[in-house]
Amino acid sequence: MKNKKTVITYGTYDMLHEGHMNLLRRAKALGDYLIVGVTDENYDRSRGKLNVVQSTKKRVKAIEALDFVDKVIVEKHKRQKAQDMVKYDVDIFAIGDDWVGAFDYLKEFVHVEYLPRTEGISSTKLRRENFDLIKMGIVGLGRDTQSFIDEAQYVSNIKVSRIYAEDFLAVKKFTKESPIIKYGHDNYDEFLDTPIQAVYIDTSLKKHYTLIKKALLAGKHVLCENPIALDGKELKELLSLAKKQKVLLLSALKTAFLPAFNQLLKEIKKGDIGEIKEVRATRTSLYREKNYPDSFLEQGATNILSGYPSLLIHKILGKRKSITFFDQTENGYDISNLIISTHKNQTVGVARVATAAKSEGDAVISGTKGYVYIPAPWWLTKEFYFRFEDTHKSYKFSYEFEGCGLRYMIAEFASLIQRGKRTSKMLSPSDMVSISRVILDYNEFKEKNKKSKKKDK
């Protein structure tokens, strides 16, 4: 016969405060043994909690330090609660009364108790009191500018208020029509001299280096569309300058910050598919059908798109040993490219990018025991499948996905600034260098080919 009554509760517990403590004590008073589930940061982001300041590790440690908590677990997905009720032989599930009715489905497993919250205190309130609002400006009228402004509205500690572009009439028209952006500039120095702390850069790739350098020298944090620079020396210079200025420089590769993508990387490390041998990823888009200007397409498929497959390949296979390009060109720029790289232990990365050919935008990670399949569009990761020779062993992961994905990237950018951090674990400087190196090497490859053709003539 069971001697103790087990109680379980869940929460984010960001910036552990009196309200959390009161709720946990009320939960413990319901039984003899208290289990606390701390939500994983990827799960938090997948359910729209974008402003959590502390890492999962720090939040878990804070709860473990409480003498009335008997066990701490990490909650990673929305189906876990029901599984935990059975796994830990739970008698009572306790949760705040702001969730009344939401967890009644668990009554088939346990008694559900909705506990009163402490009024006048919350993590949201503490974040507002302890962290200043980050004022941000937009640089350029690019393809993601409006989406960025829209998505930033879901990150409570960011305020986008200004925009800069060279075309004064275009800026004037934009600010007149925008309900959010009221201040427009056609002078970059004047724009940087305003009380903004950070900038998002969405311009033609060739302008990135100059714009980033000026912003860093002005002491601004920078989030810039990939690639940060088209020259290796320039990239290293910018990263070094950001470190010297003690500001954040981050590449705007939104895939790197998606909850499902980060969970994918964690699951792969468990080794269920064995030793990884190959990573294949495709990213194509017919921009001409979307009425993108020739000036955009002339930047080349590799410059525009290779950052996405390069991210997946680098995150899984690590530093590369060699790289080969099989490109197709038109009017002097590449319209498609098959990029094959080799890595340690004879592993291979295969990236396919194109702006004038359409392919299935999926990804496959092949191992000695099975493989992971990420359906199209894999770079907007929502779900992924672990598949094996014995199909009965196969399983699937699925995560919620809000908006177009930019809000997760913006939330990470804001969180790093608030915490005084200058590098992201999701996209570190070494990650950015490796990803950009593919573009830099391809541009060198093109130059060698041009010189070789001139010699032949």
Three-state DSSP state, 254: helix
Which of 139-148, 334-343, 419-428 ranks highest by mean pLDDT? 334-343
The class (CATH top level) of 6-125 is: alpha beta
Q: Model confidence over 294-332: pLDDT tens digits?
A: 888 899 999 999 999 999 999 999 999 999 999 999 988
pLDDT of the residue at 456: 61
Sign of the dihedral through C-alpha 250, 251, 253, 255: negative
**Maximum separation of any 2 CA atoms in the chain, in Å:** 91
For domain 131-253, is the CATH number 3.40.50.720?
yes
* Residue 291 reports pLDDT greater than 60: yes
* Residue 120 reports pLDDT greater than 80: no
* Residue 60 reports pLDDT greater than 90: yes
Q: Helix (H) and strand (E) counts for the chain?
A: 16, 19
DSSP state of 250: E
Q: Model confidence over 405-416: pLDDT tens digits?
A: 899 999 999 989
User: For 37-51, 263-277, 415-429, which range has the lowest pLDDT when averaged over its residues?
Assistant: 37-51
Q: For residue 13, give every residue at least 6 positions away whose Cβ sits within 8 Å of its Cβ, in sequence order, or none.
A: 20, 36, 38, 59, 62, 63
pTM (predicted TM-score): 0.84
> Which token pair is 273?
């598919």
Q: Where in the chain is the domain with CATH 3.30.360.10?
A: 259-400+427-455
Residue 22 buriedness (CB in 10 A; 0-12 / 13-18 / 19+)? middle
Please state, in angstroms and as integers, the Cα–Cα distance from residue 72 to each residue in 39, 69, 197, following that order: 11, 7, 38
* Residue 283 reports pLDDT greater than 90: yes
Residue 255 buriedness (CB in 10 A; 0-12 / 13-18 / 19+)? buried
Torsion of CA 190, 195, 196, 202, to 10 degrees: -20
> Which token pair is 388?
């094996």
> Which token pair is 114?
């909705």
| CATH code for the structural domain at 259-400+427-455 | 3.30.360.10
Instruction: Indicate the average pLDDT of the chain.
Output: 91
pLDDT of the residue at 247: 97
Q: Where in the chain is the domain with CATH 3.40.50.620?
A: 6-125
Distance CA 374, CA 390 (A): 19
Q: Where in the chain is the domain with CATH 3.40.50.720?
A: 131-253
Asked if 385 and 393 touch (Cβ cutoff 8 Å), the reply is no
pLDDT of the residue at 58: 92
Give 69's pLDDT tier (boundaries 50, 70, 90).
very high
pLDDT of the residue at 128: 63
Q: Model confidence over 195-251: pLDDT tens digits?
A: 999 999 999 889 999 999 999 999 999 999 988 988 888 999 999 999 999 999 999
pLDDT of the residue at 457: 56
DSSP string, 283-297: EE--GGGGT--HHHH
Mean pLDDT of 335-355: 97
Residue 155 buriedness (CB in 10 A; 0-12 / 13-18 / 19+)? buried
Closest alpha carbon to 263 in 382, 151, 107: 382
Q: Model confidence over 133-190: pLDDT tens digits?
A: 899 999 998 878 899 999 999 888 899 999 999 999 999 999 999 999 989 999 999 9
Looking only at the bridges linking them, the beta strands covering 71-75 and 134-139 are unpaired
The stretches of 78-206 forming alpha helices (DSSP H) are 80-87, 123-130, 145-152, 168-177, 188-192
pLDDT of the residue at 124: 67
* Residue 51 reports pLDDT greater than 80: no
Amino acid of residue 70 = D
* Residue 121 reports pLDDT greater than 80: no
pLDDT of the residue at 119: 79
* Residue 1 reports pLDDT greater than 50: no
* CA terminus-to-terminus distance, the chain: 91
